[in-house]
Structure formats: structure tokens, C-alpha cells
Amino acid sequence: MQVSIPSIHSWLATWMQAHGIDLWGAADLRDFSTPKDANGQRFPFTLSWAVPMNPQIMVSIQKGPNQAYAGEYARVNNRINELSKMLADEIKNRGFRACALAASDRTDKENIKGDFPHKTAATRAGLGWIGRHCQLVTRKYGSWIRLGTVFTDMEFSFGSPVERNYCGSCVRCVEACPAKALKGKAWYPGLPREEILEVKTCDRWKKENYFEYHQGHNCGICSSVCPYGLKFFKRWFHSG
């Protein structure tokens, strides 16, 4: 089925706008090991988008997570999963393959990761870069976001991959981490996660100290102190 890329982009932009998504992009992932469909075929492309967290809640967790953050985390994840299914179904209805990547789903519990990094799809789509806290940082919302990802074989107008970080010399997230799990390394494409974050140290701290919040799945302190996020809060506060 041949559909022009401009017409696809127009339809997709309208869909995103209708669902309140203003930060999104598409990426070519043919050089990556993406998930497979039921027939064992990998998906060459992906759509990535961001849903912002409530900035007032995010600024409230600099000393540790709270129930409001746990609720917001669940709400945004549920919204992303709902949107992902809707978008995947829409793409399938247009005659293409599609697969939604669940939000915050640890399919590999030993290595504490999912089927594919949402952040990789997002950096390749041009949404942002990886900060020293091992999270995606966007210029508009900082890292106060959750990410949605849908794999497909529908070809788009791809974003320009982000090839460097824009954290400068800032190490606020590293200094704020109560688990001391962040190594302070500046990200670049291809840098292994383990060079930035001691993921098992982070996971153990959360389970030992914040188990009441989604069984230790939530912390957010490192994200809450990010200057890009705090700029988002200031804009939101003054606009309200």
C-alpha cells in the first residue's frame, strides 16, 4: 500500500493535536533490534511522543516521592497506554503493521528493562537527549515527562536524531540521588546505560525506602531537580 509521506504526516499531526500531544516525532530504527510481530518480523520505524507530568507535583518531590506523584505516575502511564493502543489500531486500519510498547513495563526483571528503551526511540526521533540521571530531557518539559512508543512499518518524515547532550556541566541530579547510583557520565549515542546509572543500586534503594509507591517503582528525586524541568514549572506557574 503506497501512501505519500506528506499525507501521512498531515494525518498524524492532526491525530496528535486532537489528543493534546505537542511533542512527538518519528524515527528510523532499521539499525536497531526492535520487537518482532507475530510472524517474527521486526519493525523498522517508530513513533515517539511525550506526555508531561504535572509540574506542581514534580517540584514537590525533591526530598522524596509522595502519594500525589505515585498517582500522577500511574495516571500518565495509563494515558500513554490508552493512546498507544489507539494509535496502533489506527495505523493497522490503514493497512500497516503496528505494535504499541507498554509504558514502564519491565519484561526483563533481572536486568530491569523492557522490550525496547522508550528513550532510544525518543532520541532517534529528535525529542531530546539523555541526562546524567539516565532519563530523557526535553527542552520544553525537561525530564518531567513519560514516553509513548509505537513501532510500525508505516514510513514517516523522520526527525533528526539527537547526537549529544545539553546538560553542560550540571550535576544537580547526581548530587541529589539518595542512592548514589548516578555516575555523572555525560551521555552520547551508544553509551551503555550502565555507564550512567547503577540500575540495581537505584532499584534496591527504591524498594527499601519507597516501597509504598508502586512497590518501590517510584522515586523521581533526580528528575525533580533538573533545571530544564524547573524552567517548565516557572513557565507553568506564571501562566496560571
**pLDDT 10s per residue in the chain (240 long)?**
334 455 567 889 999 999 999 999 999 999 999 999 999 999 999 999 999 999 999 999 999 999 999 999 999 999 999 999 999 999 999 999 999 999 976 666 666 777 899 999 999 999 999 999 999 999 999 999 999 999 999 988 898 999 999 999 999 999 999 999 999 999 999 999 999 999 999 999 999 999 998 888 899 999 999 999 999 999 998 886
- Rg (C-alpha) for the chain, rounded Å, is 18
CA 128 vs CA 33, 159, 217: distances in Å? 21, 11, 23
Given a contact cutoff of 8 angstroms between Cβ atoms, the answer to whether 71 and 78 are in contact is no
Dmax of the chain from CA atoms? 53
Which neighbouring-strand residues pair with 36? 42
Domain range for residue 139? 5-239
> How many independent structural domains does the chain possess?
1
Given a contact cutoff of 8 angstroms between Cβ atoms, the answer to whether 65 and 218 are in contact is yes
pTM: 0.92
Cα 202 to Cα 217: distance, rounded to the nearest angstrom: 10
